[in-house]
Amino acid sequence: MSPIVTVTEPAAGIALVTMQDRVHKNAFTDALIDDLTGTFASLGARADLKAVVLTGYDNYFSSGGTQDGLRDLFDGKFTFVDRDLYSLALNCPIPVVAAMQGHSIGGGFVMGLFADLVVLSRESVYTANFMKYGFTPGMGSTLILPEKLGTALAHEMMLSAATYRGEELQRRGVPFPVLPRAQVVPHALALARDLAGRPRASLAALKRHLIAPLKQRLPEVIEQEVALHGLTFRQPGVKERIETRFGS
């Protein structure tokens, strides 16, 4: 079997991390979570790297939580804090560029938004679809979506659980490059090459400074989201929605 997370180094100082679990469409399986966590820990410890690009395969970036994972959340077997993907890019000591070339669903969309720089695809679908199942958003969604997209659009996405093509988000004024899918990774790598021309210590220091307000607010928001899950997962119809609407 091919690795579901691969790392290449297309240029000095740059690591390209590719999620390619084609069986599960880069959903948050235990294997993907473990591989991504280990990969970011390893890359963050390397003194020779200056930037990381995170991407998916073909037309998928990440499809977020698995159906089994949602069932386990419903049953209280774990909370999303126990499987912390949302802060991998945030906690990486060097800048991370999310090349979200493919569909980015629920937690997969949120994970990408925690990167320092984001590039979207015109053709792909982006959604914070938690409320489709009747439970409130998690993984820091209620902090990072307004922070990156603006309050009005973020609230609309979370409340409606609607799907948006990248070209529609571009019309709505998202502050990221939105390019044809084939151009997303090359553009992200160009951004990374530009970063790689700077001293690593300066990049790391500036990133720490820039994300400090976000990191300061995040623990309280996570605590609030976990409490909301304790309430909203108990609402009538949630389990049925997980069983009948998953993947639709």
Give residue limits of the domains in the chain. 5-182
- Cβ count near 186 (within 10 Å): 14
Does residue 126 sit in helix, strand or coil? strand
Query: Rounded CA gap, 34 and 149, in Å?
Result: 29
Which of the four pLDDT bands, split at 50, 70 and 90, describes residue 1? Answer: low
Tokens of residue 231, six digits: 């309430």
Catalytic residues: 229
Which of the four pLDDT bands, split at 50, 70 and 90, describes residue 131? Answer: very high
Residue 247 has pLDDT above 80, yes or no: no
Residue 82 has pLDDT above 80, yes or no: no
**pLDDT at residue 85 in the model:** 85
**pLDDT at residue 245 in the model:** 83
Residue 202 has pLDDT above 90, yes or no: yes
Given a contact cutoff of 8 angstroms between Cβ atoms, the answer to whether 220 and 117 are in contact is: no
pLDDT: which is higher, 114 or 240? 114
Q: What CATH fold (topology level) applies to the domain 5-182? A: 2-enoyl-CoA Hydratase; Chain A, domain 1 (3.90.226)
Residue 72 has pLDDT above 90, yes or no: no
Can you tell me the mean pLDDT for 50-64? 97
Residue 77 has pLDDT above 80, yes or no: no
Which of the four pLDDT bands, split at 50, 70 and 90, describes residue 155? Answer: very high
Does residue 118 sit in helix, strand or coil? strand
In the chain, where does DSSP find H-type helix?
A: 30-44, 67-74, 88-91, 107-113, 141-149, 151-160, 166-171, 181-196, 200-232, 238-245
User: Residue 57: which of 17, 115, 12 has the closest Cα?
Assistant: 17
> What is the residue-averaged pLDDT of the chain?
94
